[in-house]
Each structure stands twice: as structure tokens, then as C-alpha cells.
Amino acid sequence: EVQLQASGGGLVQTGGSLRLSCVHSGLPSDDYAIGWFRQAPGKAREGVSCISWRDDSTNFAPYVKGRFTISSDHAKNTVYLQMNSLRSEDTAVYYCTADYDYAVCDSSYSGDDWGRGTLVTVSS
């Protein structure tokens, strides 16, 4: 069973930076990708970024491309989301999840194991 835990959220000002972490365990194989999603109050969950655990290939939503970076530390079973130039629109609960192949790279991915998420609040 795959388990994931997102952390690192907090309060930052517009233009600031924050790094989120997603520690995972139980991946059946390297043929999985890890995805970051977010959900703002009153809005639907949307995809942010994803990364392949096998080859570290990445994908980003248009609204974060150029500002966010996703990376993996394979020794620590951790995926990071480095968020720079944060805007108030980035305020949301951020979740990480995993699935086979590149399923989580679809922004409309409808998985059923989202965990608790971590809250990011950008002032102004």
C-alpha cells in the first residue's frame, strides 16, 4: 500500500518562497509518478506538478511554470515542490499522491487517496 505525507506549508508574503515535502513509502515499482495537487477554498482540486520516480521527468501546470520546481530525493523517498514568486492565488491546501505511470500528471486526476495535505497561505 502506498503511503504519502505532505508537509512544509506555512504563511508567506507575496513574492516569497516555500518548499513542500512529500515523503512516501510502499511504491510497488519505479514505474510510478508523484503528483502535487492543490485545492483553494470553494474551488476544485487541480494539478500543480508531477515527477516520474524512475527518470525524474517532470510536468507543470501553466500557472506555475517558471515559478515552481519539482524534484526527487530517491534516498529519502521524498519529492519536493519548491515554490518561488508566490502569489495570493497560490493559497491552497497542497496534496501529494502517487499512481502508476503518469496518471497523476493529469490535472483532472481523480484518485481516492489524498491524505491530509499541507496548507499554504500567501498574504496579499
**Cell numbers describing residue 20:** 513542500
Task: Show the cell assigned to 87.
Answer: 502569489
Q: Residue 108 is placed in which grid cell? A: 483532472
Contact 33, 105 (CB under 8 A): yes
Q: Report the chain (124 residues): mean pLDDT per 10 consecutive residues.
A: 95 98 93 96 95 95 93 97 97 96 92 92 94
- Give the DSSP letter of residue 43: S
pLDDT score for 91: 98
Do 20 and 7 contact (CB within 8 A), yes or no? yes
Distance in angstroms (rounded) separating the CA atoms of residues 87 and 50: 20
Sign of the torsion angle spanned by Cα atoms 112, 57, 80, 32: positive
